[in-house]
Structure 1
């Protein structure tokens, strides 16, 4: 499984450890990934997503999973979240018609 956030797309960065003697050794900067269950109020269903803590704050800012996915561009989302976005938009469209 890739070390990549499903929401923000953050992944592994590489750089150097630099010692006091100015020796350089390669290192990896890993994103702070967490598994979280996010609830969709529109679909009344939970989704298990691997995302960064920064992405969790972004979701809170947009009003949860539904609010974020409604505003997000489809091309910026991974396939899993794009399918959830389609379902949310379909449910909201049918509710607006009724």
Structure 2
């Protein structure tokens, strides 16, 4: 399972551990990923995602999963999220 957010594409970053003696060793900064169930109003069902805490706040700020996915770039989304985005677009166009 990759350590990448399904909605924002945020992944691991690389940096240094710096000791008191200023010795530097490589380390990884991992995103704060959470398994979350988000509700889609257009589809009328809940969908499971593995997203970062920052993405969860962004979804709430934009007004829900449907609004977030409508504005999200396709290049940032995972294949699972891209499929859900297309389903939501089809459901909103039909109604």
TM-score range, shorter chain: over 0.9
Cα deviation, residue 4, structure 1 = 0.5
Aligned length: 95
- Structure number with greater Rg is 1
Cα deviation, residue 14, structure 1 = 1.2
Matched residue, 2:79: 79
1:6 is paired with a residue of what secondary structure?
coil
Cα deviation, residue 70, structure 1 = 1.6
Matched residue, 2:58: 58
Q: Does 1:42 align with 2:66?
A: no
Q: Structure 2: 5+ residue runs without aligned partners?
A: none
Cα deviation, residue 45, structure 1 = 1.0
Q: TM-score, normalised by structure 2?
A: 0.93
Q: Structure 1: 5+ residue runs without aligned partners?
A: none
Higher relative contact order (CA 8 A, sep 6+): 2
Cα deviation, residue 22, structure 1 = 1.3
Cα deviation, residue 82, structure 1 = 1.0
Structure richer in helix, relative to its length? 1
Once the two structures are superposed, residues 26-49 of structure 1 have per-residue CA deviations (whole angstroms, 9 ceiling, x without a partner) of: 111111110000010110111110
